[in-house]
């Protein structure tokens, strides 16, 4: 019995050795586990050398933080090539030419920096090289390559001292930094490697020599050199730009990438920047005939104030938007560009009510009839949130022999400018028309209606257009209101009529509505019925 049991145990041991637990589990239907060291690791591939060099050397000083983050998120070399192409295109001063003047000049600057500013490190890595590459050749250079005796100007305190080699570069204007910018470089080691000076005292070779290199005030006993070294004296003789705080701010601004007015559309769309922090906005396009071959095309952009970030500025709450638009033809030729900064301001008390309102912007461009595309970017400066729209549109061709109309605009605000200058945004003819882009009105708020009618027939008795107009309001396909007007003899410019009216909503129930304008030309018999929809809410 014991022998039989021993044989059973022996066979069990042999079986366990021959068939490991993993195989035994497989017999139960479980899959074999791959050893940890053999499993593929989810490691992001390292950038190719050419792209790493482009990012860390070629454009290290001019690429923005957002662009850098977006570039690092790209997955394929094709995406990186597209990004690089867009990167240079958005800095091209004339995108309609084959040459990119900025790119060519930029690489010339790098070559110049490497040739003239190299010391123990390549020229492009030095402070002078960095400033030259970012902002170009200074307007003036004051050079002291050997240092030596130096008579201080009054704004540095006067008096005579001895200096290390130094240079002062002067720029009349640097976008994003300011006007009349002076940048001082000092070489205290005598090796040719100049660094940016954060104080005019850095070039003073006698700064730490007791009793030497004194300013006029120190010579007269009105100031103490130790205080100057410690930065404790008031230095009333300084210019504003020599104030330590102003100087530090200028140096901080010089460290930023050169200012670009607005982000390029292709770059913003082809990278995850916008997806990470989206900004919603509405846009509409309206058309008003200007002449036989030109149509005023009005682009209206509207944002919800609740989506914007307001920051305190001198006691006021301010939201700032950058708006960039590019209009291209079907052939890809650029036919128009607009860019503006828009500010919405409120007192702290007004902010709560303002959050429930909208902010609107409009740009009007005269275009010939045809098919176009507009690309629009809207960016909230305070939050960085960005929104993009790409919209194709066709500018209508108005037949001079047919009755026709402009776009029917439902306005949030409609105001006659008869006694005021008819200039600025939202001005059409003698009216200020702010479109309600979302088409949502609160019950009790009037609905503004604006439209132009063209080529109305001329009544031979009055020698003026004769047109009947009906304003019809529909809800669920049923007529709920009608206003009839006789436009006989009324015109504002020959055969052009302007329809501008406010319709009360106080007696209407909330819901969806359609407004029809039924126009009949008494002379020619032609008729039109343009319409628009809006929503009424409590």
* Mean of pLDDT values over 91-119: 88
With 0-12 / 13-18 / 19 or more C-beta atoms within 10 angstroms meaning exposed / middle / buried, residue 67 is buried
- Which structure tokens are listed for 535? 């929503």
* Sequence-distant (≥ 6) Cβ neighbours of residue 46 within 8 angstroms: 52
Name which of 498, 362, 495 is nearest 431 in CA terms: 498
Query: Of 100-109, 118-127, 130-139, 232-241, which range is least confident?
Result: 232-241
Query: Of 20-34, 128-142, 366-380, 477-491, which range is least confident?
Result: 20-34
Is the CB of residue 218 less than 8 Å from the CB of residue 229? Answer: no
Give all strands of the β-sheet with 166-174 in edge-to-edge order: 140-144, 166-174, 178-186, 195-196
| pLDDT at 165 > cutoff 50 | yes
| pLDDT at 156 > cutoff 80 | yes
Higher pLDDT, 395 or 419: 395
Is the CB of residue 373 less than 8 Å from the CB of residue 328? Answer: yes
Transcribe 480-519 into DSSP letters.
EEEEEEE-TT--SBTTBEEEEEEE--TTPPSEEEEEEEEE
Helix spans in 19-76 (H):
21-27, 49-53, 65-73
* Mean of pLDDT values over 447-474: 85
With a threshold of 0.75, does the pTM exceed it? no
Q: How many CA atoms lie within 13 A of 246 on its CB side?
A: 12
Confidence of residue 110 (pLDDT cuts 50, 70, 90): very high
Higher pLDDT, 392 or 333: 392
- The confidence score (pLDDT) of residue 467 equals 84
- Which structure tokens are listed for 347? 């007192």
With respect to CATH, is domain 278-397 assigned 2.60.40.10? yes
- The confidence score (pLDDT) of residue 35 equals 64
Query: Of 311-315, 371-375, 408-412, which range is least confident?
Result: 311-315
| pLDDT at 113 > cutoff 60 | yes
| pLDDT at 275 > cutoff 70 | no
- Which structure tokens are listed for 236? 């009333």
- The confidence score (pLDDT) of residue 533 equals 94
CA separation for the pair 301, 323 (Å, rounded): 9
- The confidence score (pLDDT) of residue 17 equals 45
Every domain of the chain and the residues it spans: 2-29, 52-255, 278-397, 399-538
Confidence of residue 423 (pLDDT cuts 50, 70, 90): low
- The confidence score (pLDDT) of residue 236 equals 60
**What HEC string does 94-153 produce?**
CCCCCCCHHHHHHHHHHHHHHHHCCCCCCHHHCHHHHHHHHHCCCCEEEEECCCEEEECC
Task: Name the average pLDDT for the chain.
Answer: 83
With 0-12 / 13-18 / 19 or more C-beta atoms within 10 angstroms meaning exposed / middle / buried, residue 299 is buried
- The confidence score (pLDDT) of residue 421 equals 65
CA separation for the pair 107, 126 (Å, rounded): 16
- The confidence score (pLDDT) of residue 39 equals 57
Angle at 91 between CA 167 and CA 178, to 5 degrees: 40
Query: Of 108-112, 134-138, 147-151, 455-459, which range is least confident?
Result: 455-459
With respect to CATH, is domain 399-538 assigned 2.60.40.3880? yes
Say whether 399-538 and 278-397 share the same fold.
yes
The kind and range of the H/E element at 388 are strand 386-395
């Amino acid at each position: 019995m014991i022998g039989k049991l021993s044989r059973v145990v022996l066979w069990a041991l042999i079986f366990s050795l021959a068939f490991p637990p993993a195989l035994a589990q497989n017999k139960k239907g479980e899959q074999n586990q791959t050893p940890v060291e053999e499993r593929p690791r989810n490691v992001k591939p390292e950038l190719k050398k050419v792209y790493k060099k482009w990012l860390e050397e070629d454009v290290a000083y001019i690429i923005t933080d957002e662009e850098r983050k977006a570039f690092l998120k790209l997955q394929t070399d094709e995406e990186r090539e597209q990004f690089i192409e867009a990167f240079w295109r958005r800095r091209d001063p004339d995108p309609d030419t084959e040459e990119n003047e900025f790119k060519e000049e930029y690489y010339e600057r790098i070559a110049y920096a490497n040739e003239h500013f190299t010391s123990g490190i390549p020229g492009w890595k030095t402070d002078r090289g960095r400033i030259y590459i970012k902002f170009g050749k200074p307007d003036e250079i004051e050079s002291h390559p050997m240092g030596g005796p130096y008579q201080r100007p009054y704004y540095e305190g006067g008096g005579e001292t001895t200096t290390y080699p130094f240079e002062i570069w002067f720029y009349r204007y640097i976008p994003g930094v300011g006007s009349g910018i002076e940048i001082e470089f000092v070489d205290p080691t005598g090796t040719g490697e100049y660094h940016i000076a954060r104080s005019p005292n850095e070039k003073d070779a006698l700064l730490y020599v007791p009793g030497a290199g004194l300013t006029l005030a120190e010579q007269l006993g009105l100031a103490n050199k130790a205080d100057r070294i410690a930065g404790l004296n008031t230095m009333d003789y300084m210019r504003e730009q020599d104030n330590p705080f102003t100087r530090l701010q200028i140096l901080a601004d010089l460290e930023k990438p050169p200012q670009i007015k607005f982000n390029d559309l292709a770059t913003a769309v082809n990278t995850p920047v916008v997806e990470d922090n989206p900004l919603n906005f509405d846009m509409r396009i309206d058309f008003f005939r200007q002449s036989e071959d030109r149509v005023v095309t009005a682009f209206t952009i509207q944002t919800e104030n609740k989506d914007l970030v307001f920051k305190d500025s001198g006691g006021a709450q301010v939201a700032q938007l950058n708006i960039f638009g590019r209009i291209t033809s079907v052939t890809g030729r650029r036919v128009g560009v607009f860019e503006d900064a828009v500010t919405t301001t409120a007192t702290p008390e007004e902010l709560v009510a303002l959050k429930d309102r909208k902010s609107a912007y409009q740009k009007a461009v005269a275009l010939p009839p045809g098919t176009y595309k507009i690309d629009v970017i809207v960016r909230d400066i305070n939050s960085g949130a960005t929104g993009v729209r790409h919209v194709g549109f066709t500018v209508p061709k108005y037949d001079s022999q047919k009755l026709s109309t402009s776009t029917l605009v439902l306005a949030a605000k409609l105001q006659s400018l008869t006694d005021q200058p008819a200039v600025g945004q939202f001005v059409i003819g003698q009216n200020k028309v702010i479109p309600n882009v979302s088409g949502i009105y609160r019950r009790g708020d009037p609905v503004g209606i604006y439209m132009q009618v063209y080529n109305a027939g001329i009544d031979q008795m009055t020698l003026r257009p004769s047109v009947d107009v009906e304003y019809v309001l529909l809800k669920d396909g049923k007529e709920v209101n009608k206003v009839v007007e006789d436009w006989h003899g009324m015109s504002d410019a020959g055969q052009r009529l302007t329809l501008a009216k406010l319709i009360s909503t106080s007696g209407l129930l909330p819901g969806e509505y359609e407004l029809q304008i039924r126009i009949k030309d008494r002379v020619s018999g032609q008729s039109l019925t343009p319409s628009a929809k809006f929503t009424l809410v409590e």
